[in-house]
Amino acid sequence: MSGDLAITSLRGGAIDAICSADLDRKTALAQESATRWFERRVSLRSPLDAALPERPGRPDSPVLTPPTQVEKRSLHTLKGRIALLHAIAHIELNAVDLALDIVARFATEQVPNSFFDGWMQVAFEEAKHFRMVRARLNDLGADYGDLPAHDGLWQAAHSTRNDLTARLAVVPLILEARGLDVTPSLQAKMRQTGDLESAAVLDVIYNDEKGHVAVGAKWFRFLCAREKRDPAKAFQELVRANFRGPLKPPFNDLARAEAGLTPSFYRSLASISHA
């Protein structure tokens, strides 16, 4: 496929990937753009780059519903495991577009090239995760798009589209960090049901997500230092302004701390509810 991927620049490749409704092409473009950028074979941006879309390209299915309408099922049934993997595939697909959107949307920010290195590493790995989860769904006789999914992730990104510091607070440091909290119990449940293949996929995702939160924390702290803001206080202010709902315990404090996200950031937000 890489032969037909005309990439004008890193931003151009990222925008093309975001726009693509063909998910094989989307993930291939994300990974090829990352590879060419790592090898410094493309520039950061070009006058030929397309415009950034309001929403990412998506196939006709899944149907998007409010989060409250997505059914919960027991992992002790095949249907329940398929439902969980489908939800994870949807999260990973959104994560591909979110990582690419940070690169494309903020390509004119005054940040070092290593900022874009970090986010393209995230995009590359999220594309890998989506493919792994989709392949596992296929093994179980299902596919991405078979079940409804919710649109909350993209809405959170859209609300922070004009502020890089707010984007970093909400996407990696809340949404991705949540994955560190919930994945270990899901891994354990998959093992209990004997689905070791799905558990192994979750292992890869969990270990990579620690790195993704770390990229977010690193650049959040970088921007706060540049603006002479206290990172924990800035995080709390940005979350209150840009994120609906409380942060839900239990927190995986150890994994979060390994990624540079210490309890001083999020503990005081756990009990706060935004109607």
What does the pLDDT look like over 68-125, one tens digit per residue? 766 777 888 999 999 999 999 999 999 999 999 999 999 999 999 999 999 999 999 9
pLDDT digits (tens, 9 = 90+) for 210-263: 999 999 999 999 999 999 999 999 999 999 999 887 788 999 999 999 999 999
pTM of the model: 0.94
Measured between alpha carbons, how far is 167 from 102 in angstroms, rounded to an integer?
A: 8
Per-residue pLDDT, 157: 79
Q: Residue 102's closest CA among 9, 25, 19, 167?
A: 167
Quick one: pLDDT band at residue 155, thresholds 50, 70, 90?
confident
Q: Which domains does the chain have, with CATH numbers?
A: 65-265 (1.20.1260.10)
**Secondary structure class of 22 (helix, strand, coil):** coil
Quickly state the pLDDT bin for 202 (edges 50, 70, 90): very high
| 273: pLDDT strictly greater than 50 | no
Does a cis peptide bond (omega within 30 degrees of 0) precede residue 59?
Answer: no
Residue 222 and residue 17: Cα distance in Å, rounded?
28
Q: How many CB atoms lie within 10 A of CB 102?
A: 29
pLDDT at residue 2 above 90?
Answer: no
Label residue 271 by pLDDT band (50, 70, 90): low
The Cα–Cα gap between 256 and 249 comes to: 13
Per-residue pLDDT tens over the stretch 118-137 = 999 999 999 999 999 999 99
Secondary structure, 3-state, 150-181: ECHHHHHHHHCCCCHHHHHHHHHHHHHHHHHH
Report how far residue 242's alpha carbon sits from residue 237's, in angstroms, rounded to the nearest whole number: 9
Mean pLDDT across the chain, nearest whole number? 92
